[in-house]
Structure 1
Amino acid sequence: MESILQAAGELVGGELSGPVDLGGSSRSTVLRCRTAGGGSVIVKAFGNEPESLRCFTAEAAGLSLGISAPEVLGVDPRVPLLVMADLGNAPTLADVLLGNDPALAENGLLAWARALGALAAGSVHRRADLARLWSRYDKGMPSWEDEPWTARNAAALPALLGGAGVRHPAGLDEELSRIGTAGGDVHPAFTPGDTCPDNSLITPEGLRLIDFEAACYQSVFLTAAYCRMPFSSCWCVFALPAGMAAEIEQAYRAEVVGVYPALAEDEVWQAGMRQATAVWTVDATVRLLPRVMEDGPLHPSRRPAPTRRQVLRHRWETASGLEEYPALAETMRSLLREVAGTWEVAPLPPYPAFANRGR
């Protein structure tokens, strides 16, 4: 801790004190520290494991683009760490979704979708800038854009199905090949990577995004799917009221059609969204299916939180109607019958903020 404070103090030109742990992760430590002038800053220090080093490079490069993010006050690649402006104790989107004010939650969702869309639209022509910044803070790890995670997930799914006793339908391999190639080259735009509710601060100046550890350029559809599913890779997954997912998806889409006019065509948009839904469903299945033998909440401490089984069943139900991927849809229906059918688990409940509002 002493070495972190000293290095961070050198970046901002003054001693830092009173560190408060804001709850980082296994990859990083996040602290709110007092400055000599009576203000405060956020210090984020990373470990020296390969994944931590990649997250540092992504965070430093992504934040340095200066789009919808806290201001970067200094970066020290040696530690490695960075210092950024403190956005205060604003509630997160997760806080309001798990609260009891439906209007605040709905407004927060719309603000989140618009902010993501504006970030994407404002970044389309800055891909070279991110590459330059990545090189500046490079720690020898491949960028997230070079990480073949969609192909890796697609390749892993058949063995998992076999282990679960689920039949491998004809045509699935071809569909998984298509799903595995989805990524950054179809209408690419910048994303912080982890655009989950607890990384979205509702400040008096508007919604601000934090946590750029997976910053990269990827297809806008992979980001927009967070509106439809909702929150494709996150823990804060509950059911939305009828029509609300479509409303926030449209809020995102309205921001990006200005830079990608083809996305105004429903045929183009819907095809991209169905593929993204397939990508994220395969991702959830590969991540969570091996861990459902002993069910438990997706978050170690936040409550309420859905269980792994609740989220998997919800994802499989969503993907069971993907007409463009009939073999995958059949696989999802088999998983629902032969795997989820044995689970004694309650259906995914609504977000607490909308608990008394119809789905």
Structure 2
Amino acid sequence: MEQILRRAGDVLGTGLTDPVDLGGSSRSAVLRCRTAVGGSVVVKAFKGGDGAVRCFAREAAALSLGLGGPQLLAVDPIVPLFVMADLGTAPTLADVLLGDDPKAAEEGLLAWARGLGRLGAASVHRQAEFERLVAESSTAVAPEEPWIRQSVTKLLLRLEETGIAVPSELAGELARIGTAGGEEYPAFTPGDTCPDNNLLTPDGLRLIDFEAACYQSVFLTAAYCRMPFSTCWCVFRLPPGQTEAIEEAYRTEIVAAYPALAEDAVWRAGMQQAIAAWTVYTTVWLVPRTAENKPLHPRRPSPTARQVLRHRWELAAGLTDFPALAETAGLLLRKIAGEWDDEPLPGYPAFAGGRAS
């Protein structure tokens, strides 16, 4: 920690003291520090390995472009680390969804969806600039296979291990997922737009954690509204009509960049493709965690892997554009989830007393 503070202070041009650990991950350490002039900044330092270098490169590039996150103050590509403006202690979207105020939760969801849509629309023309910055920071790192392709390969292996006789058409359908529309409708995303990575500040939505930042299909982001939160621990059921409202809020903003998305047929097809992609990913990610069946978050209210998987498979069972995947989801519900005794996925605590008016 002393070395991180020293290097961060050197690139920032002022001494840093009193570090407070804000969490981080297996790849990074995140510290709130006091500056010599009395203010505070946030330092994020990455550990070694190709995965950490990729995360640093993506996050530094996103912050350099000012795409929805805190102001980037200084970068040290050697450690590597960067220093950001401190956004303070504003509540996250997770805080309000897990709280007891339905109005705050509903307003937070709409602010989140609109903010992501505006970010996506404003970023479309900056893809080449973003990719150039990422490449400059990770030239020595081997390219990574696209995550959708990785997930498809792993899913087929995992299904084979279960002994379930899946439809013969499944492999062909999974190949059709492609990039879920990323070639036609790309836009910037922080990559991990989960509730705890979205600050609801007095100045509007501010995003944190850009380790997986990239340009991908707008439908993959929109699916976070529908599912909800495709890759998160903070997953519960939303009240009737809420998913439609936040999805439409996102769609209204992103249409400014891609007018074709106003066509319902285009939107429906893209959403089915994105839900298919995320279902494949979630199945691969969570099935190994069903044996221990613990809550997905060690300290905060959260569902179990079984509860999330059942919810995802129920949604996937209605994918009319991917009938083999829909049939497979039905098989998983009957033959795998049918043996679980978990309660169904509950609703978000904030809406326990009914949806806000």
Q: Same fold (TM over 0.5)?
A: yes
Tell me how far apart the structure 2 counterparts of residues 173 and 67 of structure 1 sit (CA, whole Å): 37
Determine if contact 1:154/1:179 at 8 Å carries over to the other structure.
no
Match of 1:54 in 2: 54
Tell me how far apart the structure 2 counterparts of residues 358 and 77 of structure 1 sit (CA, whole Å): 47
Is residue 323 of structure 1 aligned with residue 320 of structure 2? yes
Match of 1:333 in 2: 330
Is residue 109 of structure 1 aligned with residue 106 of structure 2? no
Residue 141 of structure 2 aligns to a residue whose secondary structure is coil
Tell me how far apart the structure 2 counterparts of residues 36 and 294 of structure 1 sit (CA, whole Å): 47
Match of 1:275 in 2: 273
- Residue 180 of structure 1 and its aligned partner are, at CA, apart by 4.2
Q: What TM-score do the two structures reach when normalised by structure 2?
A: 0.97
Higher mean displacement: 106-115 or 5-14: 5-14
Which runs of 5 or more residues in structure 2 are unaligned?
none
Residue 239 of structure 2 aligns to a residue whose secondary structure is coil
**Which residue of 277, 289, 292 maps to 1:291?**
289
Match of 1:342 in 2: 339
Tell me how far apart the structure 1 counterparts of residues 24 and 338 of structure 2 sit (CA, whole Å): 37
Determine if contact 1:11/1:73 at 8 Å carries over to the other structure.
no
Tell me how far apart the structure 2 counterparts of residues 165 and 295 of structure 1 sit (CA, whole Å): 21
Determine if contact 2:180/2:270 at 8 Å carries over to the other structure.
no
Tell me how far apart the structure 1 counterparts of residues 136 and 106 of structure 2 sit (CA, whole Å): 39
**Which residue of 242, 255, 267 maps to 1:257?**
255
Match of 2:44 in 1: 44
Percent of aligned pairs sharing the same letter: 64
Is residue 307 of structure 1 aligned with residue 290 of structure 2? no
Could you tell me which amino acid in structure 2 is paired with residue 134 of structure 1? V
Deviation per CA, 1:122-176, whole angstroms, max 9, x where unpaired?
Answer: 0000011102211332252356xx6321112112212211222322113111101
Residue 218 of structure 1 aligns to a residue whose secondary structure is strand
Tell me how far apart the structure 2 counterparts of residues 337 and 358 of structure 1 sit (CA, whole Å): 32
Match of 1:161 in 2: 159
Residue 217 of structure 1 aligns to a residue whose secondary structure is strand
Tell me how far apart the structure 2 counterparts of residues 277 and 177 of structure 1 sit (CA, whole Å): 14
Tell me how far apart the structure 2 counterparts of residues 134 and 233 of structure 1 sit (CA, whole Å): 23
Residue 29 of structure 1 aligns to a residue whose secondary structure is strand
Q: What TM-score do the two structures reach when normalised by structure 1?
A: 0.96
Match of 2:141 in 1: 141
- Residue 291 of structure 1 and its aligned partner are, at CA, apart by 2.3
Q: CA RMSD in A?
A: 1.4
Tell me how far apart the structure 2 counterparts of residues 183 and 45 of structure 1 sit (CA, whole Å): 34
Change (3 A) 1:67 1:358: closer
Determine if contact 2:279/2:313 at 8 Å carries over to the other structure.
yes
